[in-house]
Amino acid sequence: MTMQRTQGYPVLIIGAGRGGTALLEMFLEDNLVMVVAIADSNPDASGIQLAKKRGIATFTDAVEALQACKNYPECIVYNLSHDDSIAAEAFKVFGDKRVSSGLEVKLFWQMVTNLKQIKGELEKSQYQLQSIIHNAMDGIIMINENGDIHGFNPAAEEIFGYSQQEIIGKNVRMLMPEPDRSAHDGYLHRYLQTGQGKILGVRGREVTAVRKNGEEFPMELSASEMMLGGHRYFVGIIRDITERKQAEQRIAHLAHYDYLTDLPNRALFLDMLDHSVALAKRNNLKLSVLFLDLDGFKIINDTLGHDAGDLLLKEVAERLKESLRVSDVVARVGGDEFILVLDNIESAENAEHVAGKIIASLSEPFDLMGNRVQVGASIGISIFPDNDIDPDRLVKQADEAMYLAKKSGKNTSRFYREVVAGRHSKEIA
């Protein structure tokens, strides 16, 4: 008799209903088992149909199936039919008891069914988890204790510009700018030794990261630690917050700068003036505040329209900046009014010189959408510490001096001391 050998334990299944089918499906996934045949009196049984698709011998007669398998050494027979005579027939063929049947097979079938159900639930859970990670809007990065990247989802690919093939196995420090890049290994080592860290467990910590193209960008990081298969891993949930930070900067800019000319507004100017006054006090320096009001602006605004008026204000702002030093400040405080602070002027004459320079610059014609127009400027000047040392009062004094310039024929400048002198003359008179 020729004995056939198989690459797995040879198995014969008798009964191709639900139990036999479940058993066949399980054995098909196991390399330790080789199903040599399956038998059922119903040729349309589900197990018979599955066996045919997989090239496994099928029989409608159990005894015939036993005879066909007698050449396989150590063949195990699983009887899932209700025919108790199968054990006796198997004994005739194999010479010893090799049949699992009755309650034994029922228990085994129930175990197989439960295992398949558990396996299905695990596969479903794993699929759901992978789907969540794959479709998450936030980037997810997993690293091991050495800092090597083991997980990098599509959102992380989009954020950093690296594909999974490029990044898996590389150290996470390549995603960091200096000095964080050089300090990372030491930080990770200290955490593993002491358990103390600044990032783990902190939700939404803002850090700076580096894209593949070398661009640095702001990122929000939430990092946690996990054990998997006896190994320690660190998982980072990341979010590119570039747009948010830009929006915050725009909002902050709008809160402190004039929307039309992009010059500092009154609130920011007063803060800057406070700083300049404090610096002048500390270093025993002079500074000057200039309050400027355009002459003839209303006529242009009324005749040519608000668009022309807005364009004029923008061009006035540019000419003012060109007339000043980098250390000086000009702000638009409303309408056609501007305030300037000149740091370290040394003398009042220098402030008067700058005022004259500004008046000459603004006296040059402007081209407003094809319309050639001219304006003037009335400027009031106050001096720290000659007139006062309080920033608010310096602004008010410059404002009063500007009105004196208006009364004096416009397109000129006047000092606050002239306002005081005029009051004194009136008091004597």
Q: Which CATH architecture has domain 257-428?
A: 2-Layer Sandwich (3.30)
Report which DSSP code applies to 346: S
Q: In Å, how far are 132, 193, 274, 383, 421 from 417, measured between CA atoms?
A: 74, 71, 22, 9, 6
Which 3 state secondary structure label does DSSP give 333? strand
| Count of helices and strands (H, E) across the chain | 15, 17
Residue 361's pLDDT is 95
Q: What is the pLDDT of residue 92?
A: 81
Phi-psi region of 334 (alpha: psi -120 to 50; beta: other; left: phi over 0): left
List, in order, residues 6 or more apart from 190 with CB less than 8 Å away. 196, 197
Q: What pLDDT, on the 0 to 100 scale, is given for residue 282?
A: 94
**pLDDT at position 375:** 94
**Radius of gyration, alpha carbons of the chain:** 44
Is 210:216 a contact under the CB 8 Å cutoff?
yes
- The pLDDT value recorded for residue 343 is 94
User: Do 9-114 and 137-243 come out as alike in CATH topology?
Assistant: no
CA–CA gap between residue 236 and residue 219 (Å, rounded): 11
Domain spans of the chain, in order of start: 9-114, 137-243, 257-428
At residue 220, the pLDDT reads 92
Residues of the chain with pLDDT under 50: 1-5
Q: Does domain 9-114 have CATH number 3.40.50.720?
A: yes
Per-residue pLDDT reduced to its tens digit, 145-190: 889 998 898 889 999 999 999 999 999 999 999 988 888 878 788 8
- In a 10 Å sphere around its CB, with 0-12 CB exposed, 13-18 middle and 19+ buried, how is residue 241 labelled? middle
Look up residue 197 and give its DSSP letter. -
CATH 3.30.70.1520 is right for the domain spanning 137-243: no
What's phi and psi for 7, nearest 5 deg?
-85, 0
Q: What is the pLDDT, as a whole number, of residue 191?
A: 79
Instruction: Say if residues 381 and 366 touch (Cβ distance below 8 Å).
Output: no
Cβ proximity of 351 and 413 under 8 Å = no
